[in-house]
Amino acid sequence: MLKITGYPDRYSVAPGETIAFKISLEEGDGFDARLVRVRHGDCNPEGPGLKFPHVPTAIDGRHAGRPQRIDAGSYMQATSMPALGAQPFTFFAMLWPTLPSRGPQTIAAQWDPATQRGFRIQMLEGGRLAVIVGDGPGRLAEFALRDGMLVRQWYAIAVAIDPAGGRVMLSQRPVKPYAHVFDTGFEETSLALSLPSVEAPFMLAGCQQADGTVTEHFDGKIDGPALLAGFHAPEEHQALLLTPRPAALQAKIIAQWDFSREIGSTRAIDIGPSHHHGELFHLPTRGMKGWNWTGEAHDFNLKPEHYGAIHFHHDDLYDAGWETSVSLVIPEELKSGPYALHVTCGDSDETVTRENYIAFFVRPPRRRLKGSRPKLAMLAPTASYMAYANHGEHITARGAELAMNRLLTFGHSDVYLYEHPELGGSLYDCHADGSGVHYSSRLRPVLNFSPRYHSWLGGHGSALYQYNADTHLYDWLDFRDVDYDVITDEDLHEDGYELLRDYQVVITGTHPEYHSTRMWDAMKAWIDRGGRLMYMGGNGWYWRIAYHQSLPGVIELRRAEDGIRTWIAEPGEYYQSFNGEYGGLWRRIGRAPNVICGVGFIAQGFDVSSPYRRAPDADNPRAAFIFEGVPDEIIGDFGLIGGGAAGIELDCLATDLGSPPNMLRLASSVDHSPMMLLVNEEFGVVPPNIGGDVNPRVHADLAFGETPSGGALFATSSIAWCGSLSHNNYDNNVSRITWNVLKRFLEDEPFPVA
């Protein structure tokens, strides 16, 4: 079991800035810390081994520690709401429950947990609408309907309470009734306990507890919640939904939250006269179609009145909120690169891991004189790291071993993730209610963003994927004594083209899959102005994401219409709530990966990797510098990732998708297994031969081409390529080709364009 976890408050920090580390211990009251540079995080004995050179700083030494816990679950809180118990009131809302088997779940509440006074409107296990009134410890009255609500069906609910008269009314009506289904309910009765007047925040989808946590979260959508003064019949709910509302009803509104307003924010706008605006916590999903969605508009910008729903989950998480355990001011002289805080709380053995590496990057100084930067920048794909953060599909999804074509083993981090679902999942996982995870944050422990981590997606051999696979490249750059800066996706999103402008060469990680519009535009502008891109991976520039406009460190994804998808966005929910842009594949909006890096996604398989075979274009004089000292026909029939240089995910040339027609196909991979499968956006009707053993389209293209502005593109088109760099003490044809390209790209002479 893992006994120490943590996370930094940022993934990228500049010299002179402070980075804070949040550490949690499962045992003991202290930990040792030291700063290391991450050079190589692969434990495979066939490779160079672990390399974490110590960097002495003021952070070295012993620090106090303790357990820190996560209070997950999204909810709304309106702090300005007056006490509702003084007069009769009615709560109306449209409800779409997604996990009625779990209970109890709070729909709305004004509750003082210290005195156990107030009210809670709940959905009990089985989907039954209920209300609880409390007037002190042990003084509770509960009333519930007999029949429950169905999963993923819309209901109009009404709860009216008359505190003085001790009267309560509950009503649930399905928007779409079914024959022989009993899910309608109405009851009016008296309560033995009258509702006290309680000064407490009004909450939706959660209830405060005495220890400061919020629990009993609602799973599902809430649309149009409203509070009215007076004891109103359910029929008046329909009148409240009219535009304009009847004047008599308008005068009764205490609060009416319109979730279609300010969708990109964390505010819940009260359109009533008193403006009791709410604050949303832990990022429930917005931009969701409501009870009245008809399909006539799929863009909430065009018809916001159809997008008045918010989807709450009890396992939503934005910020773990841990206290800082130790912080470090980055020394001015510290070189840009990959680093980690190495923390230990004792000795490790087969059953217990008592150490961890909290990874981050030191970016170049924010202000540096022109000409003082190195020519090379490594773009760390932190958006992809966040997309895969705590990817637990191998733990929860059936058939994972079948897809991987091997037995999957769980490390201590995997077991910890299984036992702590409050850490939050990746953009590949589903919430407990089966809906896809749309948002992913870095403000939490991310167990697979760490050197030494072995991934279930990493193929035979080293089993590295994402961050730890990229350490193969860091090691090779250090072995070649290459001077480079590290910049991150988040840096690129924030700074745009200006961040890239002074670099001659940008080299990518092994899987730069996720990009925002600002990132995409900046990279394209840099390439068009003569930049030289070395694309060292596979399946890059694939999904379009959004960063939140005000909250740091969180991205959004809509898995819309096409692509390799572990879950599929609901129809009508393809637009990103953070910025209103259409989500899904970049290819779906005419910006296929080929437009950026010359090649695009063609196949994936997670068992064994294959070599490349030299192609006729390798003999083109334009490519002579690439093959200097490399006469071999077979390239990369070795490697730490699956035993070859072409594996995991592959790209190929396709001029119809935007590959420049002048790109040279230097080599193509061969001899793939039946588990290397053609991606589904490449066919309409499913062909009978999608495996790499029978489909000639399943291959990676090693490619090169010049740009009209004197720059150039080089693409390895394989996630496994960097795993072959260190073979034979770095003396091999994969390493030689990569070095030949980098050496030429670093030269000032422009590439000929004619």
What integer pLDDT is reported at residue 398 of this predicted model?
64
Walk along the chain (754 residues) in steps of 10 and give the mean pLDDT of each run.
96 98 96 98 96 97 97 98 93 98 95 95 97 92 95 98 91 96 95 86 96 96 97 91 82 96 98 97 98 96 97 98 98 96 95 96 86 92 98 77 78 91 96 97 97 88 94 98 98 97 97 98 98 98 97 97 92 98 97 98 95 98 98 98 97 98 98 94 88 91 97 98 98 98 98 92
3-state secondary structure 427-447: CCCECCCCCECCEEECCCCCC
Which residues of 513-583 form beta strands (DSSP E)?
514-516, 532-535, 543-547, 554-557
Least Cα distance to 195 among 249, 240, 135, 259 occurs for 135
Domain ranges of the chain: 4-70+320-362, 75-312, 376-745
CB-CB contact of 719 with 636 (8 Å): no
Two tokens at 254? 């205490």
Q: What is the CATH number of domain 75-312?
A: 2.60.120.200
pTM above 0.85, yes or no: yes
Can you give the pLDDT at residue 244? 80
For residue 240, the model assigns a pLDDT of 87
Report the Cα–Cα distance between both ends of the chain, in Å, rounded: 61
Could you give the C-alpha distances from 122 to 94, 313, 709, 736, in angstroms and in order? Answer: 14, 15, 63, 65
Distance CA 494, CA 550 (A): 12
Say how far apart CA 666 and CA 3 lie, in whole Å: 48
Question: According to the model, what pLDDT value does residue 408 have?
Answer: 79
Q: Which two tokens stand for residue 569?
A: 């966005």
Please state, in angstroms and rounded to a whole number, the distance separating the CA atoms of residues 365 and 380. Answer: 16
The answer to whether the beta carbons of residues 71 and 213 sit under 8 Å apart is yes
**How many degrees, rounded to 5, is the angle at CA 343 between CA 341 and CA 348?**
140
pLDDT at position 369 is: 66
* SS3 (DSSP) at 480: coil
Distance CA 586, CA 380 (A): 20
Which architecture, in CATH terms, is 4-70+320-362? Answer: Sandwich (2.60)
Rounded to whole angstroms, what are the CA distances from 193 to 119, 143, 356?
Answer: 11, 11, 54
Inter-residue contact 342 to 23 (CB < 8 Å): no
